[in-house]
Amino acid sequence: MRVIFKMKVAKINLHKVWVYLFLTLLGVVMVYPLLWLFASSIKPNQDIFLSMGLIPSKVVLDSYIKGWQGTGQYTYGVFFWNTFKMVVPTVAFTLISSVLVAYGFARFDFPLKKILFTLMLSTLMLPESVIIIPRYMLFRDLNWLDSYLPFTIPALFGTFSFFIFMLVQFIRGIPRELDESAFIDGCNSFDILVKIILPLSKPALFSAGIFQFIWRWNDFFNVLVYINSVSKYTLSLALRMSIDITQSVEWNQIMAMSVVTMIPPILVFFFAQKYFVEGIATTGLKG
Amino acid sequence: MKSLTLRNKKTSWKRSQNIGLLYIAPWIIGFLVFQLYPFIVSLIYSFADFSIIKTPEFVGLKNYINLFTKDRLFYHSLKTTFIYVLIAVPGKLIFALIIALILNMKLKYINFYRTIYYMPSILGGSVAVSILWRFLFARNGLVNILLSKFSIAPIDWLGSPDVALYTISLLKVWQFGSSMVLFLAGLKQIPGELYEAAKVDGAGKIRTFFSVTLPLLTPIIFFNLIMQMVNAFQEFTSAFVVTQGGPLRSTYLYGLMLYEQGFRFLKMGYASAQSWILFIIIMAMTALVFKSSPYWTYYDDEGDF
């Protein structure tokens, strides 16, 4: 009896060892390219395509210094600052407008609510490429091209329905009795939003903010369409330009700058992981 | 007296419901100006010969007729995009599901593995990752160096028209973490009693998976499938940065064609017609998934709003 029991335990353990081995191997495959990119960025140029190892024969930081200079006229410092100027207001405006709209949908029973909510959900599936040309013409007529207004202003008007939906789901989970008792205590609907809903929605707001930050940071298609002047380039455009202008041998400079542009999203991810998971778990959705 | 004011307050509570319209007002404006208006205008443009430098001139169905009868590149791009979607989306979702199931086996260090697998999704469609792909799959890149260790002849991942599309699709599959996290969240919500009941009924592991796990997970699979499909049909960055649509236009995805027609050749009416065809395809595919969903999705509640 005992022997059989022991055998079973051993079998389970062996089985688990294989699972862990597989998971670890997969983890290596997933992350190795990123580590290799980083390692290559500090390798001497001629070594990049010779070895697949992570330890450089000689550490070269030259690639970062030279790469940072960008076009010469505009350094990566400019491109970083531009990206922040585009991303930070867009994220802030998205959060403000989304929470207002989500509060409206989650807590009030106004005419046409069902139709409007369905419309809002259906824009989740509206392909960006269908509306990009008229949007471009609209922004041209408004004189917004080559500025960050095509990104920030639509965000102010709740055009990121994904986050509205996410926050609606979250707010619906907050007990209505809290609102009602606050109302009886003399709070108007805006007080209720500020004093009750907002503090309780912090986790959802955080995760919405993080997702939006990362998505806007990585956005390439929209900036490619709306931004023309190099002085206003964001990191995506700058990187793309660097491939074109850098002499084909200076690979490590491009790699170095790729690494640099990846740092903010990765940092945000690691510092805010808790909210990532919470946000996904509460809403159950992510694109 | 006190109860009267309380009742008054209750009625005004009811009456104040319309203020909700005020809260959603930003969205109503945004929807009309930045979504509905461009949506309708793009349909109008699709019947016009028009560019930034030229005023729109109504040409009827000419754009559409040209697309279907004269534009070989259109067919080619459509085909390429379908292949891309058919490889990348199921590849990503199946992989995500398998890994989520493994991570759900009550293992230790799940958080660690989850973080690691999620990392590539964060960098997602960024230009930096596309650049990484160029280096990884270059003729003398990391992947071929690795193959040479096993004495496998190098493969021209990005330079061969037969392979390049798969290499691009792999970039999508590499980002399986985002879907995996969703599946994991869904798996966590399946009540343990159901598994116990299945066990009591004598269901084996495989039976339990197909009768308990999979049915309860279908709404999430369903949602993921649609969103991933909508995204994949519009894929742009990887084709633009990694391969520029080449070699021999083997990675000339629809998104890339739209961009070139609209913003490089400035044929905006023509590009609008193309974008509407894409829209119709996406809607048709979504409808197909929706229509078939009663056969394979299971909802616990009706999700009434």
| Over residues B100-123, mean pLDDT | 86
Nearest neighbour of A258 by CB, restricted to B35, B131, B234: B131
Q: What is the pLDDT of residue B130?
A: 92
Q: How far is B58 from chain A (nearest CA, A)?
A: 16
Rounded distance between C-alpha atoms, residue A221 and residue B237, angstroms: 7
Using a CB–CB cutoff of 8 Å, tell me whether B23 touches chain A: yes
CA angle B53, B272, B70 (to 5 degrees): 95
3-state secondary structure of B56: strand
Structure tokens belonging to residue B119: 């990392």
> B150: exposed, middle or buried (C-beta count within 10 Å: 0-12, 13-18, 19+)?
exposed
Q: Shortest Cα distance from B157 to chain A (angstroms)?
A: 15
Does the structure show a pLDDT above 60 at B116?
yes
- B258 pLDDT above the threshold of 90: yes
Give the SS3 label for residue B155: coil
Q: Which residue of A has its CA nearest to B231?
A: A127
In chain B, residues with a C-beta closer than 8 Å to the C-beta of A51 are 145
Hey, are the CB atoms on B107 and A16 less than 8 Å from each other? Answer: yes
Instruction: Please report the sign of the dihedral spanned by the C-alpha atoms of residue B20, residue B26, residue B29, residue B32.
Output: negative
Instruction: Compare B261 and A43 and report the one with higher pLDDT.
Output: B261
Query: Hey, what amino acid is at B54?
Result: K
Instruction: Supply angle C-alpha B248, B253, B255, rounded to 5.
Output: 140
For B54, the 3-state DSSP assignment is: strand
Q: Does B56 touch chain A (CB under 8 A)?
A: no
Q: What digits encode the pLDDT tens for the residues A128-161?
A: 889 999 999 999 999 999 999 999 999 999 999 9
Q: Do B182 and A183 touch (CB under 8 A)?
A: no
pLDDT of residue B299: 59
pLDDT tens for each residue of B162-190: 899 999 999 999 999 888 988 888 888 88
Domain definitions of chain B by residue range: 66-296
Q: Which two tokens stand for residue A97?
A: 């407008």
Question: How far is the alpha carbon of A135 from chain B, nearest alpha carbon, in Å?
Answer: 6
Which range among A42-56, A96-110, B112-126, B211-225 shows the weakest confidence by mean pLDDT? A42-56
- Look at residue A4 in the predicted model and tell me its pLDDT: 56
Q: How many CB atoms lie within 10 A of CB A16?
A: 14
* Residues A201/A188, Cβ–Cβ less than 8 Å: no
Minimal CA–CA distance to B164: which of B143, B137, B140? Answer: B137
Between residues 128 and 167 of chain B, which touch chain A (CB distance below 8 Å)?
A: 128-129, 131-132, 135-136, 138, 140-142, 145-146, 149
Side chain identity at B28, as an amino acid letter? I
Q: How confident is the model at residue B35 (pLDDT cuts 50, 70, 90)?
A: very high
Judge: B188–A239 Cβ closer than 8 Å, yes or no: no
How close A30 comes to chain B (CA, Å)?
6
pLDDT at residue B25, rounded to an integer:
95
Would you place residue B88 in the very low, low, confident or very high pLDDT band (cuts 50, 70, 90)? Answer: very high
ipTM: 0.86
**Whether domain B66-296 has CATH 3.40.190.10:** no
pLDDT number for residue A2: 54
The CA-to-CA distance between both ends of chain B, in Å, stands at 37
Nearest in space to A26 (alpha carbons), one of B114, B228, B221, B86:
B114
Mean pLDDT of B212-241: 88
Interface contacts (A, B; CB < 8 Å): 269
pLDDT value for A252: 84
Task: Please judge whether A220 and B241 are an interchain contact, meaning their C-beta atoms are less than 8 angstroms apart.
Answer: yes
Which stretches in chain A have pLDDT values below 70? 1-12, 246-249, 276-287
Round to whole Å and give the CA distance between A3 and A22.
Answer: 29
In the predicted model, what is the mean pLDDT of chain B? 86
Main-chain phi, psi angles of A74, to 5 degrees? -120, 120
* Residue from B9, B21, B110, B122 to probe the interface with A (highest A Cβ count within 10 Å): B122
CA distance A44 to chain B (A): 15
Locate A44 and state its tokens. Answer: 């001497």
